[in-house]
Amino acid sequence: MIAKKVLLNELGKEQKKKGFVSKKKLKEIAKNVCLPESEVFSAATFYSFLSLEKRAKHIIQVCNCPSSHLHGSDRIMKYLEKKLKVKAGHATKNKLFFLSETSCVGLCDKAPAIIIDGKPYVKVNEKKIDKILRKLK
Ligand code: FES
């Protein structure tokens, strides 16, 4: 259990630092946390906040689980798709933003929630999104 926490911490640090986790880094992390490379690879491909390749400068994840859904996450996703001119699961042409859905991020009481570059934003609406995007551009 502790090794897995250390593993996720190491993967998260690399994701934040480089914007992705390279295969070389996966091997290095596996060695450091004494876990098989297959287990490290599984973790790196399971969690939506991790990527094995550089997607874009900023990663935007919209929670699509029940609480966020009930509080308008579909509307938020459509707004982001229109605003960024990109569909979920893709990066903008200039590689500034990558937009995707994610499962519950544990902020159900403050839904709808989105995560941008690992930072949570809660009770988001169109006005809040405009303000956030202006700061990121
Ligand atoms: S359902 Fe969106 S944060 Fe839990």
Q: Which residue CA neighbors atom 2 of ligand 1 most closely?
A: 68
* Residue 52 covered by a domain: no
What is the pLDDT, as a whole number, of residue 16?
A: 84
Our count of domains for the chain comes to 2
**Whether residue 62 sits in one domain with residue 19:** no
Q: What is the pLDDT of residues 42-77, one digit of tens each?
A: 999 998 888 899 889 999 999 999 999 999 999 999
* Residue 51 covered by a domain: no
- Using CB distances shorter than 6 Å, the residues near ligand 1 are 63, 65-68, 104-108, 111, 113
CATH number of residue 105's parent domain: 3.40.30.10
CA 35 to centroid of ligand 1, rounded, Å: 31
**Whether residue 37 sits in one domain with residue 9:** yes
* Residue 53 covered by a domain: no
Asked if 49 and 102 count as a contact pair (C-beta separation under 8 A), the reply is yes
Separation CA 117–CA 113 (nearest Å): 13
**Whether residue 66 sits in one domain with residue 42:** no
**3 state SS of 1:** coil
Range of the domain at 95: 58-136
**Whether residue 108 sits in one domain with residue 76:** yes
pTM above 0.85, yes or no: no
Mutate to test the pocket of ligand 1, among 61, 62, 63, 74 (most ligand atoms within 8 A of CB): 63
**Whether residue 129 sits in one domain with residue 95:** yes
Cα-Cα-Cα-Cα dihedral sign, residues 48, 56, 91, 117: positive
User: Is residue 1 pLDDT above 80, yes or no?
Assistant: no
**Whether residue 73 sits in one domain with residue 38:** no
**3 state SS of 91:** strand
Q: Helices (DSSP H) in 2-57: which residue ranges?
A: 2-18, 23-33, 37-46
User: Tokens in use for 5?
Assistant: 């926490």
What is the pLDDT, as a whole number, of residue 4?
A: 82
Using the 8-state DSSP alphabet, how is residue 63 labeled? Answer: E
CA 101 to centroid of ligand 1, rounded, Å: 11
